[in-house]
Amino acid sequence: SSFYERYHSLEDIYDWINRTIQDSPNTANLILIGSSYEKRPLYALKLSLNNRPNKKAMWIDCGIHAREWIAPAFCLWFVRHALLHYGKNQDITNILDNMDVYILPVMNPDGYLYTWTTDRMWRKNRSISNSSICVGADLNRNFDANWCTVGASHDPCSEIYCGEFPESEPESQAVADFLRSHKDSVQLYFSIHSYSQMLLFPYSCTLDEAENHKDLLEMAKEAVEKIQRYYRNNYKYGAGARTIYLAPGGSDDWAYNLGIKYSFTFELQDRGQYGFLLPPFRISKACNEALTAVKSIALRVIEKT
């Protein structure tokens, strides 16, 4: 199997990032957006193919939850596809001609490392609380979107602990800071998770409908239909709160409220047979499904704007 059809340690991913920017110096740039609680660098890649003025952008983060290994694998898969097929595949060419792409392959490096060394089922980051012996906050409950209301917990021992205050965690703060300073260009936001095969959009922090709900629903529907047509696999789609559960403090809702009106959380394979332990032989199909959907939505956003 190829490099991209295996899971990789944090160290290997850092090496891969280095190699990628060295091999494609005109296309892939390294951006340090911050550092983790344990002081590891949070590196994002910027894929930029030409210097058109006022170019729009899309953001993809992977691995906000440590145990969801298919997510970082997808970020690497996406970068490989973009670098290899630009100028050959019409869709990715069209996307990169019209948008810069920012990719954060591992948003939670401390947690990811911990799943490789100590506890494969770890979800949160690894921040130490001053009120409890329990470690870690759920980074996807730590954003400032109805923070820590129903669907999150103030208990540091909970898997959905929201942290001390919104953006208390350096990983969520780094992403929020980056998006705040790039909100004029970033039009499309993706956060990649697993598992359950769902394409979700705002809101998850309230049962209220997003202002452009119809648009988001239509884009998600089309993306999911393409997955069904090309890969014979089913994904659910809809507003998070009504499709999966009410969960405040997520990055997607926060990005949406910031003004990024096309904001999605993508839950990749599978539906629970292997769950978080998706075997390597499934990586290729899982990533191609997600790639199909991401490209479909990006092309729609380009048309609309």
User: Which of 252, 269, 278, 290: binder of ligand 0X9 (CB under 6 A)?
Assistant: 252
Q: Which does 240 bind (CB under 5 to 8 A by kind): ligand 0X9, Zn ion, none?
A: ligand 0X9
Q: Exactly one of 167, 171, 267, 289 is catalytic; which is it?
A: 267
* Residue of closest CB approach to ligand 0X9: 250
Q: Are 6 and 72 in contact (CB under 8 A)?
A: no
CA gap 45, 22 in Å, rounded: 12
- Stretch touching ligand 0X9 by CB under 6 A, among 98-106, 226-234, 246-254, 295-303: 246-254
**Residue 199 Cβ, how far from ligand 0X9 at the closest point, in Å?**
11
Angle between helices 10-23 and 109-117 (to 10 degrees): 130
111 part of the interface to ligand 0X9, by CB under 6 A? no
Give residue for tokens 């947690």. 111
Kindly tell me which of 110 and 252 has the beta carbon lying closer to ligand 0X9. Answer: 252
Q: Which is nearer to ligand 0X9, 110 or 253 (CB)?
A: 253
Please indicate whether residue 267 is annotated as part of the active site: yes
Closest CA to 143 of 185, 203, 103: 203
Please list, in sequence order, all residues whose beta carbon lies within 8 angstroms of the beta carbon of residue 105, skipping any fewer than 6 positions away: 13, 17, 43, 45, 62, 63, 72, 75, 76, 79
Among residues 172, 204, 292, 296, which is the contact residue for ligand 0X9, using CB under 6 A? Answer: 204
For residue 252, the partner it binds in Zn ion, ligand 0X9, none, with Cβ less than 5 to 8 A by kind, is ligand 0X9
State which of positions 131-150 bind ligand 0X9 (CB under 6 A).
Answer: 140
In the complex, least distance from residue 195 CB atom to ligand 0X9, rounded to whole angstroms:
7
Contacts to Zn ion by CB under 5 A = 65, 68, 193
Reference 93, options 139, 47, 135; nearest CA is 47
| CB-based burial, 262-279: b 16+ in 10 Å, e otherwise | bbbbbbbbbeeeeebebe
Taking contact as CB under 6 A, which single stretch among the options 27-35, 107-115, 179-187, 245-253 is the one that binds ligand 0X9? 245-253
Neighbours of 197 (CB within 10 A): 22
- Residue whose tokens read 């069209």: 94
124 binds, among Zn ion, ligand 0X9, none (CB under 5 to 8 A by kind): none
CA 221-89-103 angle, 5° bins: 70
Distance (Å, whole) CA 287 – CA 278:
12
244 is a contact residue toward ligand 0X9 (CB under 6 A) = yes
Assess 66 for contact with ligand 0X9 (CB under 6 A): no
Q: Are 206 and 279 in contact (CB under 8 A)?
A: no
Question: For binding to ligand 0X9 (CB under 6 A), which residues are involved?
Answer: 65, 68, 140, 193, 200, 204, 240, 244, 247, 250, 252-253, 265, 267
* Residue numbers annotated as active site: 267
